[in-house]
Amino acid sequence: MRPWLESDAEALFKYASDPEVGPRAGWPPHKSVEESLEIIRTVFNDATNTWAIVLKETGEPIGAMGYGPSCDCNLPAREGEPITGYWVARPYWNRGICTEALRLMIDHIRKTTEIKSLISGHFIDNPASGRVMEKCGFVPTGETVVDPEQGRDTPICVLRLTVWK
């Protein structure tokens, strides 16, 4: 994983314009390379908590991994508890890439921050994402929430990872 670069805009558009990717994570498909560039500048611009997932072989960005304030969503976060989010381009699904990237980020958080826990959630009809979290140690809290801001009324299953006791 590495920080996003403005030169990634075309690759980001190629994969983030896929209607099967963004809506599963609560954001609309990108409509133009310019929009992708704007996302790199305004959303993917903090290299301390947001990374491009790149193919080791080619260096091509094929997904995103990050964590940040949970105040913009309906997840039942504890005081100061960050939310985790990620996606991987459809041609690369089910190869263990997201699990590898999430494990790397959790390891990095353990080594470099005082964060005690992370919260995340996945739409109930997106079990692959829940599987990624569970493989990385997240545990379902048993709660579901609805967040129309994510573009759908579908229930979201909530999971939490204890980083440090």
* Residue 25 is a binding residue for ligand COA (CB under 6 A): yes
Residue with tokens 């909530």: 158
CA 146 to CA 157: how far, in whole Å? 9
Which of the residues 41 through 80 are near ligand COA (CB under 6 A)?
Answer: none
86 is a site residue for ligand COA (CB under 6 A): yes
Could you tell me which of 67, 86, 74, 63 has the C-alpha nearest to residue 16? 63
CB of 165 to ligand COA, least distance (A): 25
* Helix segments in the chain, DSSP class H: 9-16, 22-25, 33-42, 97-112, 127-135
Q: Segment 88-117, which members bind ligand COA (CB under 6 A)?
A: 88, 93-99
> Any residues with CB less than 8 A from the CB of 165 and at least 6 apart, and which?
116
Query: Scanning residues 123 to 162, which ones bind ligand COA (CB under 6 A)?
Result: 126-129, 131-132
Contacting range for ligand COA; rule: CB under 6 A; set: 1-9, 75-83, 110-118, 121-129: 121-129
Interface residues toward ligand COA, by CB under 6 A: 21, 24-25, 86-88, 93-99, 122, 126-129, 131-132
